[in-house]
């Protein structure tokens, strides 16, 4: 058989296959008419999160008037079902398709909470952030175990959105690490938009600042916990600062007296008393009551001079000598009489 004959036969088979394919498609469409959908298959792709249940998804579909063995399969609008499921505030996405056996398949992906934002001045105002720093409302029936961040009200300004992204980055870093997920109990954002870490053990506040060079900061803190916990007295310090490159700064912000040697285990009591006396603020000294001094006017008074004892004795002798002649005269007068 020549090449030309082979080409002609191949083209004939192709032309004959086109109507066959079209006929099969028409037959499938006609055969599905008048058939009811047989059932619903719901799949939650992240079942570890319990914001949305299968029963709630089924109820959303039934509210659209779609019931098994009652609704014709060709009247099912998959796009409409997807839109109604995605209107749920805890659903991230939904995918709907009808299988060959006339079952409606539903795949639902829930929003993934990464961190909880708790406003400082309100116990009621709180929400979650997902991995993209988008807000997720609280649920009354499900509370995920995520890191908690206390902060002022965060809006949708450029600065606040940047802070939300930094919070999500820090929360994900803590949750993925087996040590920090246990060691850190809370994250705080102060008035200067500085990130603070509240550890599970101890009273120190860890000043992180920002998430810049986050891994290096946390590595330094981990080394400090390993090597420094047995060399210094923890009760002396209440702040650990990680913002400075290549070092860790410990501070005492309570005004307590520290040892000259930061590695000293104890401060002698006599030395503490001496340091307290030196460190007493000048204002406290100024507040102390000053004793009043009574001042008298001495302008009209002549100052009394202290006479020497010798001069006093001389005057007494002179007085006695003057008294003696008068006494003798009186005796003579008596005799003459």
Cβ proximity of 173 and 115 under 8 Å: no
Is 70 exceeded by the pLDDT of residue 8? yes
Confidence class for position 47, pLDDT limits 50, 70, 90: very high
CA atoms within 13 A on the CB side of 42: 18
The pLDDT, as a whole number, for residue 23 is: 62
CATH number of 39-110: 3.10.20.310
Cα–Cα distance, 126 to 4 (Å, whole number): 78
CATH of the structural domain 115-267, one choice from 2.160.20, 3.40.50, 3.30.2250, 3.30.70: 3.40.50
pLDDT of res. 179: 94
Question: What is the per-residue pLDDT across 208-255, written as a single tens digit (0 to 9) for each?
Answer: 999 999 999 999 999 988 887 677 777 788 899 999 998 888 888 765
Q: State the pLDDT at residue 14.
A: 72
Q: Above 50 in pLDDT, residue 308? A: no
In sequence order, what are the beta bridge partners of 328?
none
CA 128 to CA 118: how far, in whole Å?
A: 9
Tens digits of residue pLDDT in 263-277: 455 555 555 565 556
pLDDT of residue 281: 52
Which of 193, 121, 139 has its CA nearest to residue 161?
Answer: 193
250 CA to centre of own chain? 19
pTM, entire model? 0.64
Residues 6+ apart with CB under 8 A from 105: 41, 43, 96, 97, 98, 99
* pLDDT given for residue 241 in this prediction: 93
Whole-number average pLDDT of the chain: 78
Q: b/e per residue, 291-300, with b = 16+ CB within 10 A?
A: eeeeeeeeee
Alpha helices by DSSP H, listed for 140-297, are 158-176, 180-183, 214-228, 269-278, 282-287
Residue 27 above 90 pLDDT? no
Is pLDDT at 2 greater than 90 in this prediction?
no
| Per-residue pLDDT tens digits for 166-200 | 999 999 999 999 999 999 999 999 989 999 999 99
Q: What integer pLDDT is reported at residue 276 of this predicted model? A: 58
Looking at residue 333, its pLDDT comes to: 43
Q: Where are the domains of the chain?
A: 39-110, 115-267
Position 302 pLDDT exceeds 70? no
In this predicted structure, the answer to whether residue 18 has a pLDDT above a threshold of 60 is yes
pLDDT digits (tens, 9 = 90+) for 78-97: 999 999 999 999 999 999 99
Extract long-range pairs of 56-62: CB within 8 Å, 24+ residues apart: 56/88, 57/85, 57/106, 57/108, 60/84, 60/85, 60/88, 61/85, 61/104, 61/106
């Amino acid at each position: 058989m020549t090449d030309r004959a082979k080409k002609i036969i191949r083209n004939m088979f192709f032309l004959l296959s086109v109507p066959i394919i079209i006929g099969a498609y028409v037959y499938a469409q006609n055969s599905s008419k008048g058939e009811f959908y047989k059932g619903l298959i719901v799949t939650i792709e992240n079942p570890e999160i319990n914001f949305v249940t299968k029963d709630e998804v089924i109820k959303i579909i039934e509210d659209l008037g779609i019931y098994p063995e009652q609704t014709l399969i060709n009247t099912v609008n998959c796009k409409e079902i997807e839109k109604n499921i995605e209107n749920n505030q805890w659903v991230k996405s939904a995918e709907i398709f009808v299988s060959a056996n006339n079952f409606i398949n539903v795949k639902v992906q829930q929003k993934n909470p990464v961190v909880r934002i708790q406003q400082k001045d309100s116990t009621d105002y709180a929400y979650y952030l997902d991995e993209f720093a988008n807000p997720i409302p609280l649920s009354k029936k499900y509370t995920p175990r995520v890191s908690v961040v206390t902060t002022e009200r965060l809006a949708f300004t450029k600065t606040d959105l940047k802070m939300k992204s930094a919070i999500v980055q820090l929360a994900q870093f803590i949750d993925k690490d087996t040590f920090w997920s246990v060691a850190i109990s809370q994250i705080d954002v102060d008035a200067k938009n500085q990130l603070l870490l509240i550890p599970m053990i101890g009273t120190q506040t860890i000043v992180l600042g920002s998430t810049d060079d986050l891994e290096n900061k946390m590595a330094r803190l981990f080394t400090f916990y390993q090597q420094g916990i047995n060399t210094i007295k923890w009760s002396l310090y209440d702040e650990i600062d990680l913002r400075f490159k290549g070092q860790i700064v410990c501070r005492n912000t309570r005004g307590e007296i520290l040892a000259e040697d930061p590695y000293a285990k104890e401060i002698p009591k006599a030395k503490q008393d001496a340091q307290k006396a030196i460190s007493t603020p000048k204002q406290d000294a100024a507040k102390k009551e000053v004793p009043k001094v009574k001042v008298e006017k001495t302008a009209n008074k002549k100052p009394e001079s202290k006479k020497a004892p010798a001069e006093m004795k001389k005057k007494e002798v002179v007085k006695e000598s003057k008294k003696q002649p008068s006494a003798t005269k009186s005796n003579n007068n008596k005799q003459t009489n």
